[in-house]
């Protein structure tokens, strides 16, 4: 054993993937040091605790975590039940964080502010790989440095919502308006008073945007004065809502179908090919200056909800040698597998340590942060990632490289028809129809079948939708 091997492994973030990494470390006999910025494990999930997820419990629990929990007499949730974000925390992550070997290494309220190689700045190379890491974190007691043998960054992307601008920048006035919310505010619950009987603009095109729009419709039933404008950057909604019955995660497909019905019934005002230039405050409302459908638009609203996805925070990794794809901001070997420009249905082969490595040895970004700006991450993907990464850290290279994962298929596509090069979808040619996830799927559908489900070109594969 080298001196580093007696050190703990730092896990940044105690979300589902960070805690799964901790469970894997414990099973391998390695001490985890889990640093979580929030006051609770699953802090990000608690912020969208009111949202019911579309994958049932059987996909949301890591195998190593389950084994640790089973040994405590844990009452496992019903496998086919769809939990809310809060239930995932209360019924799974909190009990897991109470497992003694995990509890011992868990630091809540500990925000990681920097990671570096101990004694080596970014430029110093000779002997670098043998040095341990220093992880700097702040908590109520001040600033601390922990010395660890490896770092697994599972800090997610929830804290970095994308702004409203189509160019990736906040539009004029966006940052100064208290009428703009990000993420998935609880519009029908804790924030009800801000939204009932009011006019809201929802900007975004993922499942989270559908969620917000549907929650606003609940308010509309109580108070018909509640008005909903839903703005998309795309020119149409077919692809967004296309999963429907084809999605093997029925709740995810049902969301699309419910939104489709609402549009047909006139409960949602759709604005397509939408881009905002600026916001101004006028008489207690927000005045939106935008383009929609190729025409200038001025719209006065009471609230704006921006649901345009998230981006990773690399600031605290400044002293590490990390490498990410310039567009997707995922590790270069992973990026082409999840790039929404190339993969119309987000088909992703199973992946692990080979795809997740960085030039900085023993440093890994996992979980939703590993997907960078791609919106298609699922917990089960992250569980396989950390199984592989922890095996590698433990020196079990064969297990680290034997990655496998099967996820339910989806009929949802997210790329512009015909934009994907051959091989971009399901290992086959580009999609040929708006509701297809690959050409083979389109052919099956045009023959009146439910679709081919885009069978993998070889081995197992996972399929994900346009995401959240
Ligand atoms: C509304 C919504 C619905 C979703 N539904 C599904 C679904 O049905 N099925 C599915 O599989 N996936 C779903 N996802 C996607 C994904 O699985 C979740 O986002 C999941 O929470 C990702 O887990 P994670 O551990 O990677 O990151 P997170 O859950 O975001 O956890 C990251 C943790 O790191 C902490 N942190 C951040 N920065 C620091 C720092 N500097 N120092 C210390 N701690 C830090 C955060 O506080 C947080 O607790 C959904 C996501 C959203 C937003």
Do 288 and 352 fall within a single domain?
A: no
In a domain, 453, yes or no: no
CA dihedral 381, 373, 356, 148 (to 10 degrees): -100
CB 244 within 8 A of CB 253: yes
Quick one: tokens of 457? 């070109």
- Which CATH number fits the domain that encloses residue 288? 3.50.50.60
Select from 292, 400, 414, 423 the least CA-distant residue to 350.
400
Quick one: tokens of 391? 């095996």
Do 7 and 143 fall within a single domain?
A: yes
Q: Which atom of ligand 1 is nearest to the CA of 155?
A: 34
Do 319 and 299 fall within a single domain?
A: no
> Cα 227–229–230 angle (5° rounding)?
140
Return the exposure string of 88-115: e unless at least 16 CB atoms fall within 10 Å of the residue's CB, then b: bbbbbbebbbebeebeebbbbbbbbebb
CB 424 within 8 A of CB 345: no
Asked whether 158 lines ligand 1 (CB < 6 A), one says yes
What integer pLDDT is reported at residue 268 of this predicted model?
87
What integer pLDDT is reported at residue 206 of this predicted model?
78
Asked whether 12 lines ligand 1 (CB < 6 A), one says yes
Site to substitute for ligand 1 among 22, 37, 187, most atoms within 8 A of C-beta? 37
Q: How far is the CA of 379 from the centre of ligand 1 (A)?
A: 8
What integer pLDDT is reported at residue 249 of this predicted model?
55
DSSP secondary structure string for all residues of 304-367:
EEE---B----GGGTTS-----TTT-S-TTTHHHH-TTT-TT--B----HHHH--SSTTEEE-G
Select from 458, 456, 428 the least CA-distant residue to 442.
428
CA dihedral 114, 117, 123, 125 (to 10 degrees): -160
Do 7 and 147 fall within a single domain?
A: yes
Asked whether 468 lines ligand 1 (CB < 6 A), one says yes
d(CA 21, CA 10): 10
One digit per residue, the tens of pLDDT, for the chain of length 468 reads 457 989 999 999 999 999 999 999 999 999 999 999 999 999 999 999 999 988 889 989 999 999 999 999 999 999 999 999 999 999 999 999 999 999 999 999 999 999 999 999 999 999 999 999 999 999 999 999 999 999 999 999 999 999 999 899 999 999 888 999 999 999 999 999 999 999 999 999 877 888 899 899 999 999 999 999 999 887 766 555 555 545 555 565 666 677 777 788 888 898 989 999 999 988 889 999 999 989 999 999 999 999 999 999 999 999 999 999 999 999 999 998 888 776 645 456 778 999 999 999 999 999 999 999 998 888 999 999 999 999 999 999 999 999 877 655 544 333 333 333 333 334 334 444 445 555 555 666 667 766 554 443 333 233 333 333
Asked whether 377 lines ligand 1 (CB < 6 A), one says yes
Do 7 and 153 fall within a single domain?
A: yes
**What Å distances lie between residue 378 and 243, 422, 423, 444, CA to CA?**
16, 25, 23, 27
Asked whether 44 lines ligand 1 (CB < 6 A), one says yes
SS3 at position 244: helix
Do 298 and 315 fall within a single domain?
A: no
Strand order in the sheet with 142-148: 111-117, 133-139, 142-148
Do 146 and 178 fall within a single domain?
A: no
In a domain, 364, yes or no: yes
In a domain, 328, yes or no: yes
CB 333 within 8 A of CB 355: yes
Do 351 and 260 fall within a single domain?
A: no
Q: How many CA atoms lie within 13 A of 266 on its CB side?
A: 1
Q: How far is the CA of 44 from the centre of ligand 1 (A)?
A: 6
Select from 157, 169, 166, 150 the least CA-distant residue to 205.
166
Asked whether 185 lines ligand 1 (CB < 6 A), one says no
CA-proximal residue: ligand 1, atom 6 (nearest): 53
Last residue of a domain, one of 275, 306, 337: 306
Q: How far is the CA of 91 from the centre of ligand 1 (A)?
A: 16
In a domain, 243, yes or no: yes
In a domain, 105, yes or no: yes
**Packing angle between helix 16-27 and helix 63-70, nearest 10 degrees?**
70
Q: Which atom of ligand 1 is nearest to the CA of 183?
A: 53
CB 154 within 8 A of CB 366: yes
**Packing angle between helix 16-27 and helix 379-393, nearest 10 degrees?**
30
Last residue of a domain, one of 287, 306, 325: 306
Do 155 and 61 fall within a single domain?
A: yes
> Cα 335–341–345 angle (5° rounding)?
90
Q: How far is the CA of 142 from the centre of ligand 1 (A)?
A: 26
| Tally of domains in the chain | 2
Site to substitute for ligand 1 among 247, 377, 382, 385, most atoms within 8 A of C-beta? 377
Domain assignment of residue 43, given as a range: 3-159+310-395
Q: Is 269 exposed, middle or buried (0-12, 13-18, 19+ CB in 10 A)?
A: middle
Asked whether 390 lines ligand 1 (CB < 6 A), one says no
Q: How far is the CA of 47 from the centre of ligand 1 (A)?
A: 10
d(CA 355, CA 56): 27
SS3 at position 238: helix
CA-proximal residue: ligand 1, atom 15 (nearest): 378
Do 231 and 336 fall within a single domain?
A: no
What integer pLDDT is reported at residue 465 of this predicted model?
32
**Phi, psi of 335, deg, nearest 5:** -55, -50
CA-proximal residue: ligand 1, atom 52 (nearest): 468
d(CA 78, CA 165): 42
Do 129 and 102 fall within a single domain?
A: yes
SS3 at position 271: strand
CA-proximal residue: ligand 1, atom 12 (nearest): 378
Select from 307, 408, 392 the least CA-distant residue to 352.
392
Q: How far is the CA of 463 from the centre of ligand 1 (A)?
A: 19
CB 373 within 8 A of CB 328: yes
SS3 at position 289: strand
In a domain, 327, yes or no: yes
DSSP 3-state helix, strand, coil percentages of the chain (rounded to 5)?
30, 20, 50
CB 288 within 8 A of CB 304: yes
What integer pLDDT is reported at residue 407 of this predicted model?
59
CB 118 within 8 A of CB 132: yes
Q: Is 151 exposed, middle or buried (0-12, 13-18, 19+ CB in 10 A)?
A: buried
Do 103 and 131 fall within a single domain?
A: yes
Last residue of a domain, one of 261, 291, 306: 306
In a domain, 298, yes or no: yes
Q: How far is the CA of 407 from the centre of ligand 1 (A)?
A: 18
CA-proximal residue: ligand 1, atom 33 (nearest): 13
d(CA 308, CA 449): 33
In a domain, 284, yes or no: yes
């Amino acid at each position: 054993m080298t001196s580093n091997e007696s050190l703990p492994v730092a896990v940044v973030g105690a979300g589902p993937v960070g805690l799964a990494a901790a469970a894997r470390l414990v099973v391998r006999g390695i001490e985890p040091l889990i640093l979580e910025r929030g006051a609770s494990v699953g802090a990000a999930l608690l912020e969208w605790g009111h949202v019911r997820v579309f994958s049932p419990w059987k996909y949301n629990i890591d195998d190593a975590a389950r084994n640790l929990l089973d040994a405590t007499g844990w009452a496992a949730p019903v496998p086919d039940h769809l939990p809310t974000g809060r239930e995932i925390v209360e019924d799974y992550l909190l009990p897991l964080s109470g497992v003694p070997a995990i509890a011992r290494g868990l630091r809540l309220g500990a925000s990681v502010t920097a990671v570096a190689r101990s004694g080596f700045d970014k430029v110093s190379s000779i002997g670098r790989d043998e040095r341990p890491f220093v992880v700097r974190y702040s908590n109520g007691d001040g600033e601390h440095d922990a010395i660890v043998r490896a770092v697994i960054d599972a800090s997610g992307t929830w804290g970095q919502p994308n702004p409203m601008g189509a160019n990736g920048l906040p539009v004029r006035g966006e940052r100064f308006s208290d009428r703009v919310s990000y993420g998935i505010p609880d519009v029908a619950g804790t924030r009800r008073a801000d939204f009932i009987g009011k006019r809201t603009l929802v900007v975004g095109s993922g499942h989270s945007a559908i969620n917000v729009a549907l929650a606003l419709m609940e308010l509309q039933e109580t108070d018909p004065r509640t008005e909903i404008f839903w703005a998309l950057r795309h020119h149409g909604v077919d692809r967004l809502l296309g999963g429907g019955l084809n999605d093997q995660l029925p709740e995810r497909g049902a969301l699309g179908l419910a939104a489709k019905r609402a549009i047909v019934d006139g409960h949602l005002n759709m604005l397509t090919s939408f881009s905002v230039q600026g916001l101004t405050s006028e008489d207690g409302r927000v005045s939106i200056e935008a383009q929609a459908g190729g025409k200038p638009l001025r719209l006065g609203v009471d609230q704006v909800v921006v649901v345009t996805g998230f981006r990773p925070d690399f600031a605290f990794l400044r002293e590490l040698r990390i490498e990410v794809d310039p567009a997707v901001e995922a590790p270069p070997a992973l990026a082409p597998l999840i790039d929404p420009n190339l993969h119309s249905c987000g088909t992703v082969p199973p992946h692990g340590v080979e795809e997740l490595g960085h030039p900085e040895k023993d440093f890994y970004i996992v979980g939703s942060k590993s997907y960078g700006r791609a919106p298609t991450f699922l917990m089960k993907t992250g569980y396989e990632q950390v199984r592989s990464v922890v095996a590698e850290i433990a020196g079990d290279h064969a297990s680290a490289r034997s990655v496998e994962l099967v996820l339910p298929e989806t009929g949802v596509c997210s790329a512009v028809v015909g934009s994907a090069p051959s091989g971009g979808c399901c290992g086959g040619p580009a999609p040929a129809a708006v509701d297809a996830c690959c050409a083979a799927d389109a052919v099956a559908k045009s023959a009146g079948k439910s679709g081919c489900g885009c069978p993998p070109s070889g081995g197992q594969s996972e399929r994900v939708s346009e995401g959240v």
